[in-house]
Structure 1
């Protein structure tokens, strides 16, 4: 069936704190009383613009078009997405033009965990995605003949997106436009005339690292990834950077680029560059079709696997960095309190518990390391995980269904039912112990018992403003000390935000004090975080290699 086609002419007029959007739709017909347009209210935990019907001026060939609000909460995406819809009071006639104002949030205002989709700005520049502010057709199957025009007050300002630089045209589906990143204003760039080079960088604010050096490294990394994944005639890649208030760097990837939110924490150069590689891998392997979060083990696990593999093979980082990153990843996996959680429970809890979110990354990483070793063993070394992944990527480029069913078919063809059983065990939460040389011939596996610390409630209670205790273990030390589910947190001590990715969101002291609001005033509650030991497998450099 042919997708309906709509012409969309967008004029974006930014100021220091907002974008005035004028959108003219041609060929988009609305019926009285039925959802016509929509904007996300929540997308992967990030809030969209809180437009009301009176905030949107709508006109068509008959004149003023009155809109009312509705909501749309598709059953197949759970809590990860909901939309605000707009319903016309009468049938539309001809072209429909909307005018509305999207607010730009100051970059250092409080930041909830989640992808960097919202509009945030600093010093006259801003960045985000179209998903959190653009009002688009409620019918997501619509294809858009898009024209974007920037209208800056400052003649020196420029606008860039992962679809084009300055004014541009494109032919996109609604979801493709939603997941387009933009950065605009007094933007600094590499190269100077960025936009069409194989690798382009754009940033606002003052990154706490040498951007020129980092982007030169990323250019090499992008070349290595392009070669490994055999990308034909690669399109320009766009790396955008903006600041945020958290210590840990954040970000989100899309086709053709990603947004880095650089934090204030003391990251090592290697840790930051592994993150860059992780995000760039997403461009090449993509995301399996399916409800959000249900197949993140694939996209996030492969990004973790190939960031380490490509960095080693292309000599982008040294062996010490390799060993340290493997240890970080494996430690996060074996010490996670959600180690055995069935993957079916992940999507509904993905953005409420960082330990659940980490499953896609750490368990996915371990699964692919173990699968790679299994394929090498069964084939006598003639085949590897690379063969399956490159075949998957070819199917994606050919436009074939790219989903879990395809992955299962590749596994079955490669390993028979043993491959399916291996996959099902990962989904079920069985502990994964890759073989001795799974992470390189110079690393060997050692089994230890590791002491761990636990809060006894979700760590997002202390990272997601407003701070409220949630997920309290009624049998844990925190509850025994007097903490209650739903307590409002005024302050806390003994729990510091972590800067490392793929690790706990908080670094805990042996004791943590939470100051909560009670009827008699602020009440401090102190409890122990020691939770005993857990078995852990550690990959270390062989002693012979250290001499």
Structure 2
């Protein structure tokens, strides 16, 4: 009897190990008349015993609309049965969702818990980040921020995802950009891509690099494009002195709205593009987003991130031998043209940032004005060091600081730059922020290039540009006597087609076609968005030979 009592006492004293928090996401595509219209989502959590979290999803992200409105049939269940979910105005403390729709757990969770709901795919016509849950003929894809309802927990979880591939009516596979880590934050889940369908993929032996495509392109095969992506990844590792090859995911899907766009998230990117894109355009936007991924974690100001990405989408390609000297000059001239032809180039950067999603001319300021700033900085460094160093060297020094865990904010960048070019570092930064006219030095690109002064027309639509950046697209603020008005455009015309206004601003002399509805009739109106001439600059290639360094 004493032995039994002793054994019971020992058993009672053995600690009960808490279950490690984990999340399993299972996604099942839903079809209607052969079209993939929604995804059924089941999230199975363990290790949340006793918690009563707030659950949230974004309602909007920038111009992306109706995210929460596409969520249906939300239900929560644990070992005791259904758990009430109550609508609330609470805002998540930890979870980084935008304009949230939230639900409060009605009681404490007992045991493992399962959240179920359906997310409709987006058919909105607003252009924005390639994060929305969208389907096409061969599959479905999206970023977590645009369709996942998650709990507001300051807890890292072991996260895995899988698709029910048998639900696809065609051969299917899956890919995601979740890190292969023992545990990650739920915010990292939001910043991950998920894709499934009839994917073209790189060989498994390419790890830690993975690439997949849902889209077929006319000018290049998926095999060639994915292999080019893998080769570029390896070369960028060398260019940016990455210590070992890091996990990296590249995804391609169709863009139903504009010719091409892309977004970068930690360790991953997605390019959305129409099939008729040229090889050159596809590779340029891919390089832009790849640069973003490699520079992730540096100063997070838009002009810094986007300016560097615009500058190095072409500079990196040139340094890696993907562009000739002439092609490089043409690419850089495209950046100059977008900057000088922009009627909003003198607005302050803070104003441009505030108008990012409502005025495409403002949106280009962090990109092209930022690139101009780095072009100018490149020349300053070359001059200060008698050509021994350039922007590449200083950027890699900044990246090294980041890898050592040091601070890499905008202020740290200016401090580093000041140690090389002096107080000019702050003068150039202030000029860029205030909207002063930016003109590179003649040596900014190296000895093989010379800067020439010229003129170009400004890009001018002749009506409020916000008319084309909202849904529905209704013409407002039409200027009498403008080319658009002379071509027959009317106030309150409804525009039915979408335009890539960012790309179009580099070609103000090329016609724009608008398909408009006026009453019950549709018509196509064409006009040239060229305004008055303005001072501009362009690069010309100097005489050089193959032995001469042009970097």
TM-score by length of 1: 0.83
Shift of 1:119: 1.5
Return the offset for 1:110.
5.6
Q: Secondary structure at 2:373's aligned position in 1?
A: helix
Deviation at 1:83, TM superposition (A): 1.6
Following the alignment from structure 2 to structure 1, what is the Cα–Cα distance between the partners of residues 512 and 258? 22
Q: Which of 305, 313, 326 in structure 2 is aligned with 1:307? A: 313
CA 1:218–1:514 in structure 2 vs 1: closer, same or farther (change >3 Å)?
Answer: closer
- Cα distance in 2 between the residues matched to 1:287 and 1:478: 45
Deviation per CA, 1:431-468: give whole Å up to 9, x if none.
11111232342222111122234113344523644212
Listed as ranges, the matches of 1:291-440 within 5 Å are 295-440=301-446
Question: In the alignment, which residue of structure 1 is the partner of 2:226?
Answer: 215
Shift of 1:127: 1.5
- 1:286, 1:31 → 2: CA distance? 34
1:183 aligns with 195
Per-residue deviation, 1:125: 1.4
Question: 1:500-522 CA deviation, whole Å, 9 max, x = no partner?
Answer: x755288666798785657x998
CA distance in structure 1 between the aligned counterparts of 2:544 and 2:293, rounded to whole angstroms: 39
Deviates more, 1:353-362 or 1:58-67: 58-67
- Are 2:36 and 1:24 aligned? no
> Using the alignment, how far apart are the partners of 2:517 and 2:195 within structure 1?
40
Alpha carbons of structure 1 residues 410 and 428: separation in structure 2 relative to 1, 3 Å: same
Alignment of 1:163-174 (within 5 A): 163=178, 170-174=182-186
* Cross-structure match for 2:26: 11
1:320/1:52 CA distance change after superposition, 3 Å: closer
- Taking a change above 3 Å as real, the CA distance of residues 138 and 474 of structure 1, as seen in their structure-2 partners, is farther
Distance 2:287 2:441 in 1: 25
Query: Is the alpha carbon distance of 1:231 and 1:503 closer, same or farther for their aligned partners in structure 2, counting shifts above 3 Å?
Result: farther
**Corresponding residue SS for 2:99:** strand
Q: Which residue of 1 aligns with 2:120?
A: 103
Cα contact 2:462–2:485 (8 A) shared by 1: no
Whether the 8 Å contact between 2:46 and 2:111 is mirrored in structure 1 is: yes
Aligned with 2:173 (options 158, 167, 181): 158
Asked if 2 retains the 8 angstrom alpha-carbon contact of 1:61 and 1:93, the reply is yes
1:63 to 69, 81, 103: 81
2:51 and 2:108 in contact (8 A); partners too: yes
d(CA) in 1 for partners of 2:521, 2:250: 48
Q: 2:217·2:276 contact (CA, 8 Å) conserved in 1? A: no
Residue of 490, 494, 498 corresponding to 1:489: 494
Unaligned runs of 5+ in 2: 1-19, 547-551
Partner of 1:201: 211
Whole-Å Cα distance in 2 between the matches of residues 48 and 513 of structure 1? 26
Shift of 1:490: 4.7
Q: Show structure 1 runs of 5+ residues with no match.
A: none
For normalisation by structure 2, the TM-score amounts to 0.82
Which protein has the bigger strand share? 1
Residues in 2 aligned to 1:491 and 1:438: alpha-carbon distance in whole angstroms: 43
Paired with 1:284 and 1:335, the residues of 2 have a C-alpha distance of: 30
SS of residue in 2 equivalent to 1:172: coil
Q: CA deviation digits over 1:35-80, x for unaligned, max 9?
A: 70111111232236335887211123442222133456799x99x9
Deviation of 1:184 (Å): 0.9
Distance 1:201 1:121 in 2: 18
CA deviations 1:336-376 (Å, max 9, x no partner) are: 11111111112321122221221121111111010011122
Aligned position for 1:504: 505
What's the CA shift for 1:213? Answer: 2.4
Q: CA contact under 8 A between 1:367 and 1:426: conserved in structure 2?
A: yes
Higher mean C-alpha displacement, 429-438 vs 472-481: 472-481
Contact 1:371 1:385 in 2 (8 A): yes
The Cα shift of 1:154 comes to 4.9
Seen in structure 2, the aligned counterparts of structure 1 residues 188 and 513 have a Cα distance that, compared at 3 Å, is closer
Could you tell me which residue of structure 1 aligns to residue 100 of structure 2? Answer: 83
1:307 to partner: Cα distance: 2.2
The change in CA–CA distance for 1:88 and 1:530 in structure 2 (over 3 A counts) is same
* CA offset digits 1:271-323 (Å, max 9, x no partner): 33222211111111115465xxxx11111111122222222222112223212
| Alpha-carbon distance change, 226 to 529 in structure 1, aligned in 2, over 3 angstroms | closer
**In the TM superposition, what are the counterparts of 1:232-311 in structure 2 within 5 Å?**
232-267=243-278, 269-288=279-298, 295-311=301-317
CA distance in 2, matches of 1:373, 1:455: 34
Query: What's the secondary structure of 1:56's corresponding residue?
Result: strand
The answer to whether the Cα contact below 8 Å between 1:449 and 1:534 also exists between their aligned partners in 2 is: yes
Task: Specify whether residues 30 and 436 from structure 1 end up closer, same or farther in structure 2 by C-alpha distance, changes over 3 A only.
Answer: farther
User: Kindly tell me: are residues 149 and 113 of structure 1, through their superposed partners in 2, closer, same or farther at Cα, counting changes over 3 Å?
Assistant: closer
Instruction: Give, in angstroms, the shift of residue 101 of structure 1.
Output: 1.3
Greater displacement, 88-97 / 324-333: 88-97
Rounded to whole Å, the distance in 2 between the matches of 1:366 and 1:289 is 17
Cα distance in structure 2, aligned partners of 1:227 and 1:528: 44
